[in-house]
Amino acid sequence: MAVKTLQDLLNEGVEGRGVLVRSDLNVPLDDNGEITDPGRIIASVPTIEALVQAGAKVVVTAHLGRPKGEPDSKFSLAPVAAKLAELLGRNVQLAGDVVGYDALSRSEGLTDGDVLLLENVRFDPRETSKDDAERGKLAAALVELVGEDGAFVSDGFGVVHRKQASVYDVAKLLPHYAGTLVAAEVDVLAKLTENPERPYAVVLGGSKVSDKLAVIEALAPKVDTLVIGGGMCFTFLAAQGLSVGSSLLQEEMIETCKGLLERFGDVIHLPRDIVVADKFAADADSKIVPANEIPEGWMGLDVGPESVDRFTALLTEAKTVFWNGPMGVFEFANFAAGTRGVAEAIVTATGKGAFTVVGGGDSAAAVRALGLPEDGFSHISTGGGASLEYLEGKELPGISVLED
């Protein structure tokens, strides 16, 4: 992509200039408001750190969760500000609002190398408005915080598929650059789409076929192996005429899955055995059954060991692997073996020289939750939805707006 990068901005000089950075700091919190996986904050540090070291006055904007366009304390970026300060080894101010009096007064008081984090940008309803004029007003207010000689660095890859004020509209008002993270993500995804080394294997999991339908349609004709697990596999099994008990099932997608199996049956690989449970709970009674013998009243919560062996044989021979979506309910220890097994197979492929990408979201969370080595993968993306839309061939507004 023909866009200017962070390095271009640094070469131009940022000392004493205000720089607005759109980061992706949307991390999971537990019931006590503690961060359970700081991966996205960690990934955002290099761009912010480079600007700080170069003497910029850094104003960071980001969102957390899905507040309904108004302030909500449970979605405050306060814990994020604390973690970011810890990682940067310096004070990070948190504005009490998005573009209001506190944000403006704090931004005016910034000195070279200071960092100001604005409160959750989705507290302002204009951020996600469908009205271009409304988004434009918020963008203009964000620009005011960094001044007329300011710059915009887009570093939140997890939101570049959204046409939102802090992602898209600000880039129309300021000199704009791709941050370290966004540039790296796009380079990685280009490798997956432009001329991937073969065999090329894709692993898709997660709950709903409908969420992954477009990417299946886009990738199935291009890959050598398409492994399907997670809750979505049961709709495919049902499409084969099998009973899936009380497993997650999208009945309205069965005919679609039949069509996919007819067209791409030579590359689609489904589980051969399933770990079933008598209820959806960590302590549920469970057993392993063939995929065509799921008992009535039981639900599949993971792929079985025979499936893992089969998938492992396919994945360890691949030269390119993209993985998005867990194989089962990995949050429950009794149903994590499938996800772990597939992840370990991908790590093995990496060790044999394959180019392997974890497509963000729950897959990235699983890598960390299961204690797998992050350097066992060529790249762990921070943006699940953005990664999928890129691979589907969709235009990402937050990327296209950066192109000159």
- Active-site annotation, residues: 40, 208, 361, 385
Confirm or deny that 272 is annotated as ligand binding. Answer: no
Confirm or deny that 361 is annotated as ligand binding. Answer: yes
DSSP string, 119-135: S-GGGSGGGG-S-HHHH
| In 62-131, alpha helices (H) | 78-88, 101-108
Confirm or deny that 25 is annotated as ligand binding. Answer: yes
Closest CA to 202 of 273, 265, 268, 291: 268
Confirm or deny that 24 is annotated as ligand binding. Answer: yes
Strand-strand pairing, 286-290 and 273-277:
antiparallel
Q: How far from 65 is each of 23, 57, 73, 75, 121, CA to CA, in Å?
A: 14, 27, 11, 6, 11
CA distance 181 to 274: 37
Residue burial 348-386, b: 16+ Cβ < 10 Å; e: rest: bbbeeebbbbbbbbbbbbbbebbebeeebbbbbbbbbbb
Closest CA to 60 of 108, 11, 101, 94: 94
Confirm or deny that 263 is annotated as ligand binding. Answer: no
Residues 6+ apart with CB under 8 A from 400: none
Residues 6+ apart with CB under 8 A from 190: none
Task: Give φ, ψ of 29 to 5 degrees.
Answer: -120, 150
CA distance 225 to 215: 14
Confirm or deny that 63 is annotated as ligand binding. Answer: yes
How many beta carbons lie within 10 A of that of residue 216, not counting itself? 21
Confirm or deny that 212 is annotated as ligand binding. Answer: yes
Confirm or deny that 64 is annotated as ligand binding. Answer: yes
Helix (H) or strand (E) holding 363: helix 361-369
Tokens of 87: 């990682």
Confirm or deny that 124 is annotated as ligand binding. Answer: no
Confirm or deny that 360 is annotated as ligand binding. Answer: yes
Confirm or deny that 398 is annotated as ligand binding. Answer: no
Confirm or deny that 40 is annotated as ligand binding. Answer: yes
CA distance 245 to 148: 62
Known binding residues for (2R)-3-phosphoglycerate: 40, 122, 162
**Residue set of the binding site:** 24-26, 40, 63-66, 122, 162, 212, 300, 331, 360-363
Binding site per annotation, positions for substrate: 24-26, 40, 63-66, 122, 162
